[in-house]
Structure 1
């Protein structure tokens, strides 16, 4: 990993950790496989921290530009899938 996760410096340490955990799981979903439920739980926590849809899109775009991994597609697949394991 030669990139940084997008974060807002106004977030608390706990919020930063939770957002980084979410993006890390998205990364893992693209590289190996992850629990569908875990993605949904971490995304729900992400939405508590980032309730604004426009801010979410901005952070997702920044992460995809840096990493090449789509958070949007990962969350969409987790929401729509019936499988317990997600692999991008």
Structure 2
């Protein structure tokens, strides 16, 4: 990883740690796959930190810009895959 995660410096330390954990889960969904329930739990916590759609979209866009990973695709997969299954996003990471 040669980039910084998008965070809001008004968040508490715990919120920053949990938001970074969510983005790490997105990376895992693209790189190796991740258990759907782990990603769901991380996303629910992320939504507690970032309840607004506009800020969520902004952070997702920032993350995709620096990493090449589309958070929306991974979150969308949560609804499409049953509990207990693995999410693996096959879209290739863009090179920056």
Q: What are structure 2's unaligned runs of at least 5 residues? A: 90-96
Q: Find the counterpart in structure 2 of residue 61 from structure 1.
A: 61
Structure 1 position 81, deviation (Å): 1.2
| Residue 54 (structure 2) pairs with residue 33 (structure 1) | no
Q: What are structure 1's unaligned runs of at least 5 residues? A: none
> TM-score scaled to structure 1, two decimals?
0.97
1: CA distance, partners of 2:79 / 2:12:
28
Q: Find the counterpart in structure 1 of residue 47 from structure 2.
A: 47
SS of residue paired to 1:15 = helix
> TM-score scaled to structure 2, two decimals?
0.89
Structure 1 position 33, deviation (Å): 1.0
Which runs of 4 or more aligned residues in structure 1 lie more than 6 Å from their structure 2 counterparts after TM superposition?
none
Structure 1 position 11, deviation (Å): 0.2
For residues 43-67 of structure 1, what are the alpha-carbon distances to aligned partners after superposition, in whole Å with 9 as ceiling and x for unaligned?
Answer: 0000000001000000000000000
SS of residue paired to 1:10 = coil
Number of residues paired by the alignment? 88
Q: Which has the higher contact order (CA 8 A, sep 6+)?
A: 1
The structure with more helix, counted as a fraction of residues: 1
* Superposition CA RMSD, Å: 0.8
